[in-house]
Amino acid sequence: MIDIEESDPIMLRCDDEPVVLEGLRRLFSSAVALVHAAESMDGLKPSIADGSRIPDLIVT
C-alpha cells in the first residue's frame, strides 16, 4: 500500500462506469495521489464539502 501524505495531490474522478472508476483510481493512486471517485458529481460533494483543500485535478 502506498502512503498518502497531506501534501499529495487530490484528484476527483467522476464516471458512470464502475470499472472505469476503479481502474483510474488505481492508476492515480499509484502516482501517489489521494483519489476520490464517484458515479456522479453529487457523489463527489462530500469529498470537498469542508473546503479545506481544493482538488488539484477533476476528471469527468
Per-residue pLDDT tens digits for 11-52: 888 889 989 888 888 887 777 778 888 888 898 888 888 777
Taking the C-alpha atoms of residue 7 and residue 39, their distance in angstroms, rounded to an integer, is 26
Taking the C-alpha atoms of residue 11 and residue 58, their distance in angstroms, rounded to an integer, is 6
pLDDT value of position 19: 92
Taking the C-alpha atoms of residue 39 and residue 11, their distance in angstroms, rounded to an integer, is 14
Residue 1 has pLDDT above 50, yes or no: no
Boundaries of every domain in the chain = 14-46
pLDDT value of position 36: 82
